[in-house]
Amino acid sequence: MKGGVQLVLIDSFKSAGGKDLIIDFIDSLDKFEKAEGYLLLEHLEEIESIDACIFYTKKIQEKVWEFKFKNHIRIFYVLCSKIYIYLLHVCKKQKNKTERHDKELALKRAKEIMK
């Protein structure tokens, strides 16, 4: 809590071995993309509600959304509440639109955590 206000809580998908797949992906990016990825995560931790997010968001399906940064990197997430975000998948867009398998993977993971 910051100044008596509940801040956004962030969790992310981990592999069976406990690796944070979102952070590992961001760490693999070039320094500018990596900086913007960490800026996004830092921004999310400091806002009071997802409604205050300054990054581009797009609804994918029901509670599954995506953040876009550096114009071609996507982080898919599920909005569990206005203050709880679960990061599902991250990818670098290679073509004109996000690959179907990336969306399907995010939706599959969302189903798993919403059980």
pLDDT greater than 80 at residue 104: yes
Q: What is the pLDDT of residue 83?
A: 79
Q: Bigger pLDDT: 91 or 46?
A: 91
Q: Which two tokens stand for residue 82?
A: 């206005």
Q: pLDDT of 9-67, one tens digit each? A: 889 999 899 999 999 999 999 999 999 999 988 888 887 777 777 788 888 888 898 88
CA–CA gap between residue 67 and residue 56 (Å, rounded): 6
Q: What is the dihedral of CA 16, 98, 22, 115, to 10 degrees?
A: -50
Q: What is the pLDDT of residue 70?
A: 79
* One CATH from 1.25.40.390, 3.90.550.10, 3.30.70.1350, 3.30.2310.20 for 9-113: 3.30.2310.20
Q: What is the pLDDT of residue 1?
A: 40
Q: Which two tokens stand for residue 42?
A: 């830092």
